[in-house]
């Protein structure tokens, strides 16, 4: 047993309930401050005990993190040493390949590690064909990135591993705002070539520039929802709001959508959408006139929708970025979700569909449904839920960690 596990952190009386149920986060207010030893601990594995001195778990203690204690192993005989990080990564990757290696051959882009839901705090790791993108949002992940990179390289032998720190957490976690590149396992100062990263999702081709896109480059969490939505797109006129590089647009084109307005505030995202359309035409995946069916609008989605004439679209897709990044932003986000959904309900044709999403973890599914009901009331429309949308199986929801559930949505029929 490593020496550091002799270090003990005690959780205050009454603060251990969630932790015993395997919730992994311990904030500073829950930690007993009296131990003088605590002051000397820094970035280390500790034995976590309750106020009666009973073992709860092993955790990673780092007072510089905004979550200073992160629980890793609840088994007293399993110490989270380097081998634990290796084993836990391998297990997570194997879980994904159970599905994507066999069942889903038409997709080679998916999430290998979904942070705490896969027991690896602060790591979101996405596979894109021959490349892997690692997004780091916690100091504990920054400290362990090399062991994870080596493990991924050995397991999957990718051409390229890109490691990016999540700008939403660099300040609170005191980690550098940076991107690192590893070619065949060795760190390199720049990209080995300028070829875009190519991958497939449900048979369609996509590409993005390494290290330049939003998040890890693509939003693979919407994979299944794109398919569900596209089932209704044949011969329809669609508005894809917050389209990014065209996940919804491309699947709708494949299913015979007639005409699409694609709206995003990012010009780079729209350029990439245009090249993704060309790529799929070249590969024979969508009709050769598909590029004539899509109009690109670099615009604020809220303003764009306000200007749209009523009864223009059969389908409106609303997939905004995370509007509530923290709990304190929930109220403002509720107003924004209500506004944009009300506008969509007002503008879509009678009998038309609105595919609406929220990826804000701090807005629950129930809250989102309530917001939609307020928007429905204000628009004077009756609305039916046709489909429920969620996050796919490569973004698992761990029951002991409710924070891992974040993506929710509905396909709504506006009467
Ligand atoms: N639907 C996309 C993912 C959307 S991500 C897909 O399937 O891949 C959210 C997108 O919203 C990003 O591309 C971002 O550039 C865009 N965005 C953020 N704020 C916006 C705004 N106010 N108006 C329009 N687009 C916005």
Encode pLDDT of 143-158 as tens digits. 999 999 999 999 999 9
Q: How confident is the model at residue 6 (pLDDT cuts 50, 70, 90)?
A: confident
CA-nearest of 411, 58, 60, 50 to 238 is: 411
pLDDT of residue 194: 79
395 Cα–ligand 1 center, Å: 20
Mutate to test the pocket of ligand 1, among 251, 315, 321 (most ligand atoms within 8 A of CB): 321
pLDDT of residue 62: 96
For residue 4, pLDDT beyond 60: no
pTM for the complete prediction?
0.96
List, for residues 311-326, the tens digit of each pLDDT value.
999 999 999 999 988 8
Answer yes or no: is the C-beta of 266 below 6 A from any ligand 1 atom.
yes
pLDDT of residue 101: 79
CA 259/CA 245 separation, integer angstroms: 17
CA 411/CA 289 separation, integer angstroms: 28
For residue 195, pLDDT beyond 90: no
pLDDT of residue 191: 82
Q: Could you give the dihedral angle defined by the CA atoms of residues 330, 334, 335 and 336, in that order, rounded to the nearest 10 degrees?
A: 90
Mutate to test the pocket of ligand 1, among 320, 325, 336, 406 (most ligand atoms within 8 A of CB): 320
Beta strands in 23-118 (DSSP E): 25-26, 44-49, 55-61, 69-73, 109-114
**Nearest residue by C-alpha to atom 20 in ligand 1:** 265
**Shortest-distance atom of ligand 1 to CA 321:** 9
For residue 102, pLDDT beyond 80: no
284 Cα–ligand 1 center, Å: 27
**Nearest residue by C-alpha to atom 16 in ligand 1:** 242
For residue 34, pLDDT beyond 90: no
Answer yes or no: is the C-beta of 219 below 6 A from any ligand 1 atom.
yes
List, for residues 60-80, the tens digit of each pLDDT value.
999 999 999 999 999 999 999
221 Cα–ligand 1 center, Å: 14
pLDDT of residue 214: 85
For residue 400, pLDDT beyond 90: yes
List, for residues 362-395, the tens digit of each pLDDT value.
999 999 999 999 999 999 999 999 999 999 999 9
**Average pLDDT over every residue of 260-287:** 97
Q: CA 254, 256, 259: angle at the middle one, nearest 5? A: 105
Instruction: Name, in order, each residue with C-beta under 8 angstroms of 7's C-beta and a sequence gap of 6 or more.
Output: 37, 41, 44, 45, 46, 47, 61
CA 397/CA 332 separation, integer angstroms: 26
For residue 2, pLDDT beyond 60: no
107 Cα–ligand 1 center, Å: 23
**For the chain, what is the mean pLDDT?**
95
377 Cα–ligand 1 center, Å: 26
CB 58 within 8 A of CB 5: yes
CA 152/CA 147 separation, integer angstroms: 9
Q: How confident is the model at residue 226 (pLDDT cuts 50, 70, 90)?
A: very high
CB 124 within 8 A of CB 112: no
336 Cα–ligand 1 center, Å: 14
pLDDT of residue 35: 62
pLDDT of residue 1: 45
List, for residues 235-244, the tens digit of each pLDDT value.
999 999 999 9
Instruction: Residue 393: count other Cβ atoms within 10 Å of its Cβ.
Output: 19
Answer yes or no: is the C-beta of 247 below 6 A from any ligand 1 atom.
yes
Beta strands in 170-230 (DSSP E): 179-183, 186-188, 197-201, 204-208
What is the percent of the chain with per-residue pLDDT over 90, rounded to a whole number? Answer: 89
**Nearest residue by C-alpha to atom 3 in ligand 1:** 244
């Amino acid at each position: 047993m490593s020496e550091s596990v002799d270090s003990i952190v005690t959780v205050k009386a009454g603060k251990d309930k969630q932790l015993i149920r395997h919730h992994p986060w311990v904030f500073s207010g829950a930690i007993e401050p009296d131990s003088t030893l605590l002051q000397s601990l820094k970035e280390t594995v500790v034995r976590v005990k309750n106020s009666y001195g009973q073992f709860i778990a092993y955790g990673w203690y780092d007072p510089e993190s905004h979550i200073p204690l992160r629980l890793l192993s609840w088994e007293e005989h399993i110490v989270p040493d380097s081998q634990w990080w290796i084993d836990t990564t391998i297990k997570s990757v194997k879980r994904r390949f159970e599905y994507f290696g066999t069942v889903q051959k038409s997709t080679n882009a998916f999430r290998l590690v979904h942070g705490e839901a896969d027991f690896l705090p602060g790591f979101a790791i996405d596979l894109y064909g021959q490349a892997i993108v690692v997004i780091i949002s916690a100091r504990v992940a920054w400290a362990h990135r090399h062991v994870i990179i080596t493990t991924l390289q050995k397991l999957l032998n990718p051409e390229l591993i890109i490691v990016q720190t999540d700008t939403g957490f660099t300040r609170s976690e005191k980690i550098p705002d940076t991107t690192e590149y590893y070619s065949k396992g060795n760190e390199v100062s720049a990209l080995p070539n300028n070829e875009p990263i190519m991958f497939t999702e449900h048979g369609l081709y996509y590409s993005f520039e390494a290290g330049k896109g939003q998040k890890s480059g693509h939003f693979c969490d919407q994979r299944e929802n794109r398919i569900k939505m596209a089932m209704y797109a044949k011969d329809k006129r669609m508005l894809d709001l917050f389209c990014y590089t065209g996940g919804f647009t491309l699947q709708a084109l494949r299913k015979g959508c007639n005409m699409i307005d694609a709206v995003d505030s990012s010009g780079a995202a729209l350029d990439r959408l245009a090249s993704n359309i060309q790529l799929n035409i070249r590969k024979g995946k969508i009709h050769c006139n598909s590029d004539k069916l899509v109009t690109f609008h670099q615009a604020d989605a809220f303003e764009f929708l306000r200007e749209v004439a009523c009864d223009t679209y059969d389908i409106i897709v609303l997939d905004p970025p995370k509007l509530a990044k923290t709990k304190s932003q929930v109220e403002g986000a509720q107003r924004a979700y209500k506004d944009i959904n009300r506008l969509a309900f007002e503008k879509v044709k009678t009998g038309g569909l609105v595919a609406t999403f929220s990826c804000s973890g701090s807005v629950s599914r129930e809250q989102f449904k309530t917001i939609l009901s307020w928007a429905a009331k204000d628009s004077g429309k009756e609305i039916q839920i046709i489909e429920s949308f969620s996050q796919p199986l490569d973004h698992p929801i761990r029951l002991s960690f409710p924070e891992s559930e974040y993506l929710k949505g509905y396909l709504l029929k506006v009467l």
